[in-house]
Amino acid sequence: MGKRTVQITGQAAGPRERALEVKADAEAQGFDACAIASVEGADPDNRLRRWLGLGYHADMDWMTRSAHIREDVREKVPGAKSVVVVARNYYGPRPDAEVGTGRVARYAWGRDYHRVLKKPLRRLAAQIDLLEEGARSYCSVDSGPVLERTWAERAGLAWIGKNSLALRRDMGSWFFLGTVITTVDLKPDTPEPDWCGTCRACIDACPTSAIVEDGVVDSRRCISYQTIENRGEVPEEVQAGHGDWVFGCDVCQEVCPWNRFAYQSSETDFLPRPGHANLDLTGLAAMDEPSFRKEFEGTPILRARFEGMQRNGRIVSRNQEQEG
């Protein structure tokens, strides 16, 4: 998408006009949706502190260290007034799996989304900075101390489903979030209602019972955490539940009724690289670290590291042998 030049500048426009300009710029940068929240305490119900206190973050200690910033983005950007939230659809149909392969979560089939979204998000932030003299901003694609899903909920871009993921009625949950925290005063949007109702599909389908209550996931039981973030051994009691998931897990999204509205992403970088949607387990086991890094360079799969993926491959191979 081409970069537009901001026409509304300085004090000539109010919060409403500036918000419209930001949304037009977000669309020009290729984002599928954009909404705005005003800066206040992000977590008045202390959901993050409760989640951390229960140990549901497992060994992701950085969540504890940055909790105060996640709860109040003004710790990151003094004088911040608004949070701009954008969404980028990454959905694509899963290729058929062959025998002896392990499934990879849909978001990791192609190029690392951080690399894909960083430049357009930075361009959007630069355009926002032009709206007011001396404006400052900070942008993040889930790599900074920002509660992206909470802000998406506050901004009305999405609601938080029972699987703790952000949901939209027009594209389900197959989208990435980006945020721009800014000192520019922008008119906020209205929060979206919770459209999950009494549905329990994601809770009932979770293979390891990791969704312990509505909107709360215990990472210690979550396949995504165990296959990506965990640097040690996967607990025996949850290994069988991993089934054939070798990197991440999409079960709670695959069963979500709202994902029947999913549509193909227009971003070609999110298309699956050959063999990356369903990894050949024999080939994975035969890799050394240099060949692993070469094969998965520039993809989210590197996040799990060589040792982690070798471990995951062994678990999936064992599960398949036991099922066979």
List, by residue number, the catalytic residues: 142
247 with 301: CB under 8 angstroms?
yes
Q: Taking a C-beta distance cutoff of 8 angstroms, is the pair 171, 262 a contact?
A: yes
Q: For the chain, report the end-to-end CA distance as a whole number of angstroms.
A: 48
Taking Cα atoms as reference points, which of 228, 227, 162 lies closest to residue 195?
A: 162
CA 53/CA 311 separation, integer angstroms: 29
Angstrom distance (rounded) from CA 56 to CA 34:
30
| Closest to 255 (Cα-Cα) out of 311, 164, 172 | 172
Contacts 24+ apart (CB under 8 A), 293-302: 298/111, 298/112, 298/115, 299/108, 299/110, 299/111, 299/112, 299/273, 300/107, 300/108, 300/112, 300/113, 301/104, 301/108, 301/247, 301/276, 302/112
